[in-house]
Structure 1
């Protein structure tokens, strides 16, 4: 049986506890044994190197350097990493090691909660199979991203809330390699209820399965 670990905490505004509960259920339905933790200290446990998948849900907060390096080492060694929105893409702002592994870092969401479209750029990828572009209302994440990412979906900024980014195409979903590990990220899912939107739930579930070794 494959083993996964969800680590949740940080800013409560992203419903980390509810998201952890939902994702735990999805993974258990896929046959995973799921461990749930609430402290980054768990990354110092050598046993994490034997996991198939780690799911961080830990917006902002601070991670100690040895904890971040241990997590990065586990993923480089083959443990999968997958997550969403600020729980992975705006975690541990002072850790460049963590950001290098994830492939991106949140920097803004102009206009806060707005209507925007998600465009599928790789409909041929198994993670995106059968998913069409869709309208969404939430935070539209502006991120600093790794050009090595394999981008699966994007969004385009209108410039209404920040005129200088009018027309900018921004990655929303990507996958990448980090050493021997697979990394998947989706910037959607500001609140837990968004995870039940069919397109988002499908992408996240498939992304976790892809990342898991």
Structure 2
């Protein structure tokens, strides 16, 4: 049986507990054994090296050196990593080792909660199969610093309405990558837990999570 660890906490504005509950339900339905933790010390446990998947939901906050070293080592050796929005890509701002593993870091969301469009880049990828070529979305439109080695599955284009100098910039919204032997999946959608009610968002995230998980 595949096994997963959800570590949640940090800034409460991203509904970490509610999101962890959604992930836990999905993972159980998809045949995982699941445990949760609310402290970053869970990342320092040597036992995480045996997991199939780790999901961080820990916006901002800090991570100790021994915690990030053990986490990145586990992923390099094959444990999957998956997550969404600031719970994964705005976590542990001071840790470049963590950001290197994730493949991106949040830096801005001009206009805050706005209407924008998500455009599918790779419709033939199994994670994106059946998703409309583009779909409307209402949330924070994340402006990211991203790794050029990411395999980008969906993007969004900034209108310039809220920051004129970025008009026309196409920004990754969904990507997958490898960090050593581990598969890493990230989606920038999902400012609040209610957004998981969006079928496009939920489908992409659930498939990505399963893609990232190490095989039994």
TM range (shorter): over 0.9
- C-alpha distance in structure 2 between counterparts of 1:19 and 1:34, whole Å: 14
* Counterpart residue number, 1:182: 183
* Counterpart residue number, 2:99: 99
- C-alpha distance in structure 1 between counterparts of 2:151 and 2:44, whole Å: 29
- Runs (4+) of structure 1 moved beyond 2 Å? none
* Counterpart residue number, 1:108: 108
Aligned residue pairs, count: 213
Structure 1's unaligned 5+ residue stretches are: none
CA deviation vs aligned residue, 1:119-140 (integer Å, no higher than 9, x gap): 0000000000000110001100
* Counterpart residue number, 2:64: 64
* Counterpart residue number, 1:29: 29
CA deviation vs aligned residue, 1:175-210 (integer Å, no higher than 9, x gap): 000000000000000000101210111011100100
Structure 2's unaligned 5+ residue stretches are: none
Equivalent residues in 2 for 1:101-180, closer than 5 Å:
101-132=101-132, 133-180=134-181
How far off its partner does 1:65 sit?
1.2
Q: CA RMSD in A?
A: 0.4
Give the TM-score normalised by the residue count of structure 1.
0.99
- C-alpha distance in structure 2 between counterparts of 1:201 and 1:115, whole Å: 18
- C-alpha distance in structure 1 between counterparts of 2:114 and 2:179, whole Å: 33
Give the TM-score normalised by the residue count of structure 2.
0.98
